[in-house]
Chain A
Amino acid sequence: MIEISDTVASLKPSGIREFFDLVMGMDDVISLGVGEPDFATPWHIREAAIQSIEDGFTNYTSNKGMTELRNALSEHLDSEHNLNYDPEDEILITTGVSEGMDIAMRALLNPGDEVIIPTPCYVSYLPTAKMAGGKVKILNTAKNDFKIDHNQLEELISPRTKLLVLNYPSNPTGVTYGKQELDKIAELVRKHELIVISDEIYGHLTYNHEHYPFPTLESMREQTIFLNGYSKSCAMTGMRIAYAAAPPKIIAAMNKIHQYTMLCAPTTSQFAAVEATRHGADAIKEMKGEYERRRNLVHNRLNEMGLDCPLPEGAFYAFPSVKKTGFEPEDFCRKLLAEHSVAAVPGDAFGPGGETHIRISYATGFQKLREALSRMEEFVNEHSAHTAGSTG
């Protein structure tokens, strides 16, 4: 008999998987459930990858990643955010932020160490923390408009708290933070000597908000593992390429795991990343402009159809409440899919706090998005008739 490890056996299957299976069998679905850009990787970046293959660069790189890429990143972080990371021992090229998150947790956690994870959150955080032996402390942000409440955070901190995981702009809520809000969080991090893993993969995608990387806050550079990557900003999800920047001791520990589990990040993708780092700014700006227009449209239409939704500040997600429809998010999504062929993801797939919400991804062309929103509006109208009595 095959027996799976207790840790893995205890992991809950992803709530997203189930919807994926449902959608797979259907035609003519407009999916607002996609967590990746609808743009193709900018051509000059693809070309750099192709060129590297033509030139025969298909071997391993050093564990840490190509020097050229680490240099490019170091310069980029300096010029963009005035952040100084030594390319030699403070930057590690990873196979996606997914890997960065995993090895950061494994490098730091001893069994029973507590990890504070604000929810709703990206689906990997809770299982990754558990697999790394951490004890997860959930910080449910639902009552505070999906932002971390400073007091609530302080209450959760115990002598065993080691890590705080941050993700802004957030998947799934689209929420991000201003400087003052971050300073308040940093104050607690300093006071309680925590380490922050800051997943800022959507950092380039903020709308009318400046993005402040966590290590730019006072003294936070020494207590932060900064994770960022190319998947979202440069539409490079399939290239599996990202990086971690942190003090040397942490990078060395992460690299110890990385060298055995990954050896190095994909070489072709590292070449693409050099090009993206050095010359990606214009393409990023253009995609961001497109997302912003869609965000405005989605926000406007959702509220108009009665699904309360604050203006998303970043990433490409809206997180409206479906409470007024009287449906649980899961039923809402199932019915919407069955009756109008529009797919969205129930909010509870992202952990505690999402029980009355759904996630809408607007990484979909403007015209398609309009069609999907019209279908949603029809759906909401059809079903509001029978709940009208209770909602007035």
Chain B
Amino acid sequence: MDKLLELLEENGRLPVKELAAALEMSEEEIREKIQDYEKNGVIKGYRAVINRRNLPEPPDSVTGLIEVDIAPQPDTGFDEIAREIYDHPEVKACYLCSGDYDLLVRIEAENLNEIAEFVSRELAPLKNVHKTESHFMLKTYKEAGVNFEAPSQDRRLSISP
């Protein structure tokens, strides 16, 4: 992958000036490349990675990971059914997977009830959904490549020749 993308994926807020320095390109070139990536849909957005547990008053929130077993459709395969699911704003992520189930859906809600209702009202009744299995997330160790726990220790001596 382009080094520019690697750096931005690690930190979307790196100043153009520093990107230019690190990659030995002009600031103009960096700006153009980023614009191209944005236009072509390679860069889909810039978000903050939030660790809610660190808020002074962590909000009530529950994340559910729902495995969904589906019967694919003759023309559209999984895509149409997936769309019906991921169009719901509660769905934060949706992946087609190989293995025992087909879709993995991440849902965020205020409490367990809301997730249960979403599954029973919106997911399970869909015509081609055979089966769902819900998991509730207990703790986030790492999100979007960011470690939420204490950083792993640098084992090196702090000064060496």
Give residues in A with beta carbon < 8 Å to B. Answer: 14, 16, 19-20, 23-24, 29, 31, 33-36, 38, 122-124, 171, 289, 293-294, 296-297, 299-301, 343, 345, 366-367, 370
Does B73 make an interface contact (CB < 8 A)? no
Once the chains bind, are A33 and B23 in contact (CB under 8 Å)?
A: no
Once the chains bind, are B21 and A300 in contact (CB under 8 Å)?
A: yes
Taking CB atoms, residues of chain B closer than 8 Å to A171 are 161
Give residues in B with beta carbon < 8 Å to A. Answer: 3, 7, 10-11, 18, 21-24, 154, 156-161
Complex CA gap A129/B25 in Å reads 44
Once the chains bind, are A19 and B159 in contact (CB under 8 Å)?
A: yes
Once the chains bind, are B22 and A34 in contact (CB under 8 Å)?
A: no
Known contacts A289-B3, A293-B3, A370-B18; A23/B158 CB under 8 A: yes
Once the chains bind, are A122 and B3 in contact (CB under 8 Å)?
A: no
Could you show 15 A-B contacts with beta carbons less than 8 Å apart? A20-B159, A31-B159, A34-B160, A122-B161, A123-B161, A293-B23, A296-B22, A296-B24, A297-B18, A297-B22, A301-B21, A343-B158, A345-B159, A366-B10, A367-B10
Most chain B CB inside 10 Å of its own CB: which residue of A29, A35, A293, A367: A293
Taking CB atoms, residues of chain B closer than 8 Å to A29 are 158
Q: Closest CB-CB distance, B158 to chain A, in whole Å?
A: 4
Taking CB atoms, residues of chain B closer than 8 Å to A33 are 158-160
Please tell me which one of the listed residues A23, A24, A293, A367 contacts residue B11 in the complex, with CB atoms under 8 A apart. Answer: A367
Give the nearest-CB partner of A350 in chain B: B161
Complex CA gap A261/B160 in Å reads 24
Once the chains bind, are B158 and A24 in contact (CB under 8 Å)?
A: yes
Once the chains bind, are A293 and B22 in contact (CB under 8 Å)?
A: yes
Q: Closest CB-CB distance, B145 to chain A, in whole Å?
A: 11
Give the nearest-CB partner of A297 in chain B: B22
Once the chains bind, are A36 and B22 in contact (CB under 8 Å)?
A: no
Please tell me which one of the listed residues B7, B156, B161 contacts residue A366 in the complex, with CB atoms under 8 A apart. Answer: B7
Known contacts A293-B23, A294-B22; A20/B157 CB under 8 A: yes
Complex CA gap A20/B158 in Å reads 7
Taking CB atoms, residues of chain B closer than 8 Å to A19 are 159
Taking CB atoms, residues of chain A closer than 8 Å to B156 are 34, 36, 38
Complex CA gap A20/B24 in Å reads 34
18 further interface pairs, Cβ-Cβ under 8 Å (given A20-B160, A294-B22, A366-B22): A16-B161, A20-B157, A20-B158, A20-B159, A31-B158, A34-B156, A34-B159, A35-B160, A35-B161, A124-B161, A289-B3, A293-B3, A293-B23, A296-B21, A296-B22, A296-B23, A300-B22, A370-B18
Complex CA gap A241/B160 in Å reads 18
Taking CB atoms, residues of chain A closer than 8 Å to B22 are 293-294, 296-297, 300, 366
Q: Which 6 A-B pairs have the closest CB atoms?
A: A300-B21, A33-B159, A20-B159, A123-B161, A293-B22, A31-B158
Q: Closest CB-CB distance, A180 to chain B, in whole Å?
A: 24
Complex CA gap A124/B10 in Å reads 38
Known contacts A366-B7, A370-B18; A343/B159 CB under 8 A: yes
Most chain A CB inside 10 Å of its own CB: which residue of B18, B24, B159, B160: B159
Q: Closest CB-CB distance, B39 to chain A, in whole Å?
A: 25
Complex CA gap A370/B10 in Å reads 13
Taking CB atoms, residues of chain A closer than 8 Å to B154 are 38
Taking CB atoms, residues of chain B closer than 8 Å to A367 are 10-11
Taking CB atoms, residues of chain B closer than 8 Å to A34 are 156-160
Give the nearest-CB partner of A40 in chain B: B155
Complex CA gap A289/B6 in Å reads 12
Q: Closest CB-CB distance, B68 to chain A, in whole Å?
A: 35
Taking CB atoms, residues of chain B closer than 8 Å to A24 are 158
Give the nearest-CB partner of B154 in chain A: A38
